[in-house]
Structure 1
Amino acid sequence: MSTAAKIPLIDISATGGDAQAKVAQELVEAAVEHGFVYIRNTGADIPVEAVENAFELGKKIFRAPVEEKQKCIIQENNRGWSSMNYETLDPAHQRVGDFKEAFNFGEFVDGKAQQPLPESFKPYESQAAAFYDHCYNLALKLNHLIGIGLAVTPPTFFYDRHRREFGPSGNILRLLYYPPLSALTTTTTTNTSPQATQEDVRAGAHSDYGSITLLFRLRGQAGLEVDTSGTTTTTTTTNPTSTAWAPVPVTPPGTESDPAPPILVNIGDLLSYWTNGLLRSTVHRVVFPPPGGEGNGIEGETGNEPRYSIAFFCHPVGKTTLEVVPSERVKNHKPSGEFTKRGGNPDAERKAITADEHLQMRLRASYKQMYDETKKE
């Protein structure tokens, strides 16, 4: 049986000065040490029913006719439909693109998406907008806690730079669908993607782009792994042969009786870059678990069924300049040599770039096909 990743579990519902400060410190220490943290989901921040409904929305959008989804193909603004094998998160080590399908929602205005939607999904537009708002508000809360935990001056530093009233951002609500391996081992008229093997991945090894990511998963659905080798604070993927992959349980010990699995939160490249490498942006991937039984060695989890997940990628307002954070802990942190060499820094020396510039740099690496096609026009 595989050894599960040791990721802290935190309850952020505490209120009041001392209690809030303790939670904030726990959150920051988890971000420094692991880059990942479980947030207990009791329904206080996001109603359990809202999460359940969001998963139903995901199933609806992926069941939409291909012809409808093709009219919503993902664009350079990172919004829209990404078909099977279109995105390649680890191009250096993947023979084909990711075995997943995704739909990215950008901001909503008055409950309306600012992008094309599949015709059959339009009746559910307001529900998607409501869930986007739930995620946005939780992300704001977490950014505020990180500011407190880092003793930033003022403590609302991160909170203020993520508020949408100050301008548009790269925030994305992403619905994801991963077919089981059994559905991808033959090529048919209904499945024209390359045949998959046990060695292929559903989502290549990568680190996320933005400030923080909120990840929602369904009980029993295996596949997510994190690199625990100690060299995962990198924005370029590591060599899979030198990594130490550990599965991330959907329901870690102590949460079995909770009304919903905890929300998995991880630090993105931008926040790691912004804090000079103090907060860790950890490499992770989604694999095809071995068939049958406990697919990834975690009790109660298998890879025999389709896997659905939901991610909210939180970004600062696009015009935000990623200058050194006004925190003594950040200023005193000495990044490792590995950090100064990695692809998240556009130069060997650290420099202030905007949040939008940082995002575009990362998108070009993941969607080479899209950007190459743009060049040819």
Structure 2
Amino acid sequence: MSSEQENPLQVVDISEINQRTADELLNAATSQGFLFVEGHEFTEEEVDLLFKVSKDFFALPAEYKEKYPIDNTNHGYTNYGGENLDPSLQKQGDPKEALNFCNLDFTTVKFPTGSMKKKLDPKILALALKIEDSADCPGTQWFNSRYQPDKPSGSTFRFLHYPGQKSLNPESVIRAGAHTDYGSVTLLFQQENQEGLEIYSPVAKKWQPVPYVSANSAKFPVVNIADQLSYWTGGILKSTIHRVKFPQKVQETGQDRYSIVFFSHPNDDALLEPVPSEIVRSVKNRGANSATNVITAKEHLDKRLAATYGWSY
């Protein structure tokens, strides 16, 4: 396994879906809220091709990219400074650019047997949380019923480009401000020698850098819990604060950073109410999950986007 720096995250092998795998995932999700996934079956060629497409797009002239500005559905191109993930820290916005693909049509998607989608489907979460059956909904279907492919959701596929330090003001240390992700689960691919992701560890109570990790040419994606899954579980699953801050070696080389992210969201009308699980019921203070303050997935997403981009709804 390649990594020059200490890895604070658990590596979970999802080659087999069983109670042991589910328990390992639950341990990672309830402690750091971030983990590496092994056995996902994305090929090196597939990942490399996506990074090439991303790099080719960001190399296009600014006047071309700006023809497709991000809109209030979260779809389109964001130029440098257009997104501000931590308004309390800075006013000028994050020194990065991004391209979002939203309004995705999941009714036409075909996932091969054994793919990561099949392996990280709601079954493993149902096993982990021991979701209970009800008269109208088996426990393994609780999440499926909130991810119906023919209904709209905030799910987003994203290319990101962070320019090298030498092309920026030397004081531009933070590339993406401290934030939590807005959906349920996030999948991130990063590249070797382009590190920068840091999490504010709920365990160590400090910022910890996340390395690039691979084994036998297989790139290990980072998976993290996001806000809406944390809502569903009363905060048991951690939506951990994270940011992008270039480490010293990347700053010195002036290396650009490219990353590819998929933000998974439930259907827009899904209520962020507690999962039917004794594990979740054991939480004494559910906060925003309380019965008097249940919102939909879209209401939460709209609120977060408005704060990030200065939009109003």
Percent identity of paired positions between Structure 1 and Structure 2? 38
Match of 1:150 in 2: 129
- CA RMSD, 1 decimal: 2.8
For the pair 1:287 / 2:272, whether they are aligned, the reply is no
Which residue of 159, 165, 169 corresponds with 2:153? 169
Aligned 8 A contact 1:289 1:303 in 2: no
Aligned-partner Cα distance in 2 for 1:156–1:138: 18
**Distance of aligned partners of 1:229 and 1:317 in 2 relative to their CA distance in 1, 3 Å threshold:** closer
Aligned 8 A contact 2:193 2:250 in 1: no
For the pair 1:178 / 2:178, whether they are aligned, the reply is no
Aligned-partner Cα distance in 1 for 2:300–2:253: 34
For the pair 1:245 / 2:207, whether they are aligned, the reply is yes
Secondary structure of the structure 1 residue equivalent to 2:49: helix
Match of 1:332 in 2: 282
Deviation per residue, 1:215-272 (Å, 9 max, x gap): 00111212111112559xxxxxxxxxxx621110111xxx4x3223211000001111
1:132-143 to 2 correspondences below 5 Å: 138-139=116-117, 141-143=119-121
**Distance of aligned partners of 1:263 and 1:33 in 2 relative to their CA distance in 1, 3 Å threshold:** same
Aligned-partner Cα distance in 1 for 2:92–2:245: 14
**Distance of aligned partners of 1:140 and 1:97 in 2 relative to their CA distance in 1, 3 Å threshold:** farther
For the pair 1:77 / 2:70, whether they are aligned, the reply is no
Aligned-partner Cα distance in 1 for 2:198–2:117: 23
Aligned-partner Cα distance in 2 for 1:350–1:250: 42
Aligned-partner Cα distance in 2 for 1:169–1:361: 15
Moved more, 140-149 or 266-275: 140-149
For the pair 1:197 / 2:171, whether they are aligned, the reply is yes
Aligned residues, how many? Answer: 301
Aligned-partner Cα distance in 2 for 1:334–1:146: 21
Aligned 8 A contact 2:102 2:156 in 1: yes
For residue 64 of structure 1, report the CA deviation from its aligned partner.
Answer: 2.1
For residue 143 of structure 1, report the CA deviation from its aligned partner.
Answer: 4.3
Match of 1:275 in 2: 233
Aligned 8 A contact 1:223 1:303 in 2: no
Aligned-partner Cα distance in 2 for 1:110–1:141: 17
- Give 4+ residue runs of structure 1 displaced > 3 Å after superposition: 2-5, 107-112, 137-141, 347-350
For residue 49 of structure 1, report the CA deviation from its aligned partner.
Answer: 1.5
Unaligned 5+ residue runs, structure 1? Answer: 113-128, 185-194, 232-242, 297-301
Aligned-partner Cα distance in 2 for 1:348–1:111: 33
For the pair 1:211 / 2:188, whether they are aligned, the reply is no
**Distance of aligned partners of 1:43 and 1:244 in 2 relative to their CA distance in 1, 3 Å threshold:** closer
Match of 2:9 in 1: 7
Aligned-partner Cα distance in 2 for 1:47–1:162: 26
Secondary structure of the structure 2 residue equivalent to 1:210: coil
For the pair 1:88 / 2:62, whether they are aligned, the reply is no
**Distance of aligned partners of 1:216 and 1:3 in 2 relative to their CA distance in 1, 3 Å threshold:** closer
TM-score, normalized by length of structure 2? 0.87
Aligned 8 A contact 2:199 2:209 in 1: yes
**Distance of aligned partners of 1:68 and 1:350 in 2 relative to their CA distance in 1, 3 Å threshold:** farther
TM-score, normalized by length of structure 1? 0.73
For residue 66 of structure 1, report the CA deviation from its aligned partner.
Answer: 1.7
Unaligned 5+ residue runs, structure 2? Answer: 133-138
